[in-house]
């Protein structure tokens, strides 16, 4: 975690599950992250734009447009930017192999770290049985999730007024519900197995909004989290070291330093 005011340079950054087009998207947090962190490689690992939600009702404030412009500006300045579509922005899968504004759209890809590890980069919805075999149920679940995020937004508005930091009700409930914990475990195992099948050293994914980095029987499993509940990203340092950054915590640390000064 870091709290510097100047931009930090990384070799690679992975972001996923931003869900632009929804009220739950923490676009202001993400813009702050992008202002403070730059990289040679930028991977957008699915669900960047929430097409499911936009088809139901249009919501696109200026901050969401600013995120898109910020990413396109990165590509224009020479960063290698890749978009790996997810289930919420599955419409992009019609353009696999093409480039738009310097952003390359790929089904998945293999990233080679500075220390030589080969990592599969994939959104991960392909390994979610509900999304694959009962898409109608996934849409029902998405509607319930949006309602919970609406409650979460109001809850955090009150917390800010009282001087308390951001806290996610949905993340808290997810990590304490047995079925959700079992689903996360099954998902992680499926992705690790896919990495073994493709004979790579590890996998980087998103989809389940749960940032994690750990060894799974010799395969490195990394999930970069999301920008709805946790505001996390995965970064690669110049020496190949990987790290999960919680930007909500970084903002709190920066504010505390300013108060102390």
In this predicted structure, what is the pLDDT of residue 150? 60
Above pLDDT 90, what percent of the chain? 66
Query: Could you give the CA distance from residue 187 to residue 185 in angstroms, rounded to a whole number?
Result: 5
Q: What is the pLDDT of residues 63-93, one digit of tens each?
A: 999 999 999 999 999 999 999 999 999 999 9
Question: Looking at residue 135, what is its pLDDT?
Answer: 44
Beginning with the edge strand found earlier in the chain, give each strand of the sheet holding 219-223 in spatial order: 109-112, 118-121, 202-205, 219-223, 212-216
pLDDT for position 78: 96
Secondary structure letter of residue 48 according to DSSP: S
In terms of Cβ atoms closer than 10 Å to its own Cβ (0-12, 13-18, 19+), residue 133 is exposed
Point out the residues of the chain with pLDDT beneath 70. 1-5, 129-183, 261
For 32-72, write each residue's pLDDT tens digit. Answer: 999 999 999 999 999 999 998 999 899 999 999 999 999 99
**Beta 242-246 vs 232-236: how paired, if at all?**
antiparallel
**pLDDT computed for residue 131 by the predictor:** 38
Structure-token match 């998207």, residue found: 25
Question: For the chain, which domains are there?
Answer: 9-127+203-260 (3.60.21.10)
The pTM of the full predicted model, rounded to 2 decimals, is: 0.80
């Amino acid at each position: 975690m870091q709290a510097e005011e100047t931009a930090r340079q990384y070799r690679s950054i992975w972001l996923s599950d931003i869900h632009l087009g929804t009220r739950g998207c923490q676009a202001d947090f993400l813009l702050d992250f992008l202002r403070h962190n730059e990289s040679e490689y930028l991977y957008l690992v699915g669900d960047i734009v929430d097409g499911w939600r936009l088809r139901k009702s249009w919501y696109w404030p200026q901050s969401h447009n600013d995120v898109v412009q910020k990413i396109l500006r990165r590509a224009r300045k020479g960063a290698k930017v890749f978009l790996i579509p997810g289930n919420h922005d599955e419409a992009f899968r019609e353009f696999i192999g093409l480039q738009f504004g310097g952003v390359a759209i790929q089904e998945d890809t293999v990233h080679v770290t500075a220390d030589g590890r080969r990592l599969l980069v994939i959104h991960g919805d392909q390994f979610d049985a509900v999304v694959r075999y009962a898409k109608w149920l996934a849409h029902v679940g998405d509607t319930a999730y949006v309602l919970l995020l609406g409650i979460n937004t109001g809850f955090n508005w009150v917390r800010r007024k009282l001087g308390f930091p951001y806290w996610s009700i949905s993340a808290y409930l997810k990590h304490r519900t047995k079925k959700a914990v079992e689903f996360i475990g099954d998902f992680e195992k499926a992705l690790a197995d896919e990495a073994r099948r493709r004979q790579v050293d590890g996998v980087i994914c998103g989809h389940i909004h749960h940032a994690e980095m750990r060894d799974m029987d010799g395969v490195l499993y990394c999930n970069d989290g999301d920008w709805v509940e946790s505001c996390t990203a995965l970064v690669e340092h110049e020496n190949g070291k990987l790290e999960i950054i919680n930007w909500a915590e970084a903002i709190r640390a920066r504010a505390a330093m300013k108060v102390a000064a």
